[in-house]
Amino acid sequence: MASTGNARTAATQEYLAALRNLVASNQKATIATLARRLNVSPQAVSEMIGRLKTEGLVDVGDNRELNLTSSGRAVADAIFRRHALVEWLLTGVVGMGWAESDREAHHLQGAISENVEMRLAELLGNPETCPHGNPIDVAAAKRRPPGVPLSSLSSGDRATIYRITEEAEEDAGLLSYLEARGLRPGAEITVLASSASLDAITVEGPRGSATFGLHPARLILVLPGKADPNLFHKLPTAQLSGSPT
């Protein structure tokens, strides 16, 4: 039975998490795309994939596409779950920004024991998503609606920010811009203008207007109209502010 990630090396966790994010973003995972994502050489990726394949965590298809096995997906989900919990802690309790908390969560996720993970999840209200709205595991993903890309909306459309996808999370500048404009999951927006020829979409949100290129707008998922507020996790403030017994 595969370990759920705590005992694995930081490099192994990084590769499995990157593969998970590529698959979640509907991108083709190959040695070349993984090398670009991790900013390492194709040779280094090839060597690591060989080890992960031997461990039964990754399959390599006939077209050289990389896929997580069921065991590999379980390990990758466990890594993402700890990453998401640390992000909730850093953003909602410590007060860090999205981009900074994402960087710090990468350093801390491998140091969390299963006991601390369980207690942290309870403290944070057992979130189904990370702070950016991405499902914390396969079970949560199946319970939640898929959403549509912001780039698919037309002028005058109203929607609710739903997910800042895993691919968008890789762009620290985009994360900081979204946070500064108040465009977090649950925020209601109105499309002011959208133009394929200008490669731009402008929305009115909680903190005024914001303009995106259509490519980053494809990485932001929305729900048409006003979404069910129960889809968006709120930290249990009473529990977080209470003293331990």
Do 174 and 210 lie in one domain? The reply is yes
**CB-CB contact of 223 with 189 (8 Å):** no
Q: Is residue 157 part of a domain?
A: yes
Do 47 and 112 lie in one domain? The reply is no
| pLDDT (mean) for 33-41 | 91
pTM of the model: 0.85
Q: What is the pLDDT of residue 242?
A: 52
pLDDT tens readout for residues 54-100:
999 999 988 889 999 999 999 999 999 999 999 999 999 999 999 99
What is the b/e burial string over 86-125, where b = at least 16 CB atoms within 10 angstroms of the residue's CB?
A: bbbbbbbeeebebbebbebbbebbbebeeeebeebbebbb
Do 220 and 180 lie in one domain? The reply is yes
Structural domain that includes position 66: 10-73
Do 51 and 88 lie in one domain? The reply is no
Q: Is residue 237 part of a domain?
A: no
What percentage of the chain carries pLDDT values higher than 90?
71
Do 28 and 103 lie in one domain? The reply is no
DSSP string for 127-158: -SB-TTS-BSSHHHHHHS---EEGGG--TT-E
pLDDT tens readout for residues 7-16:
578 888 889 9
Q: Pick from 51, 73, 95: which residue ends a domain?
A: 73
Distance set, CA 73 to CA 2, 90, 91, 201 (Å): 10, 25, 26, 35
Looking at the 3D structure of the chain, how many domains does it have?
A: 3
**CB-CB contact of 219 with 167 (8 Å):** yes
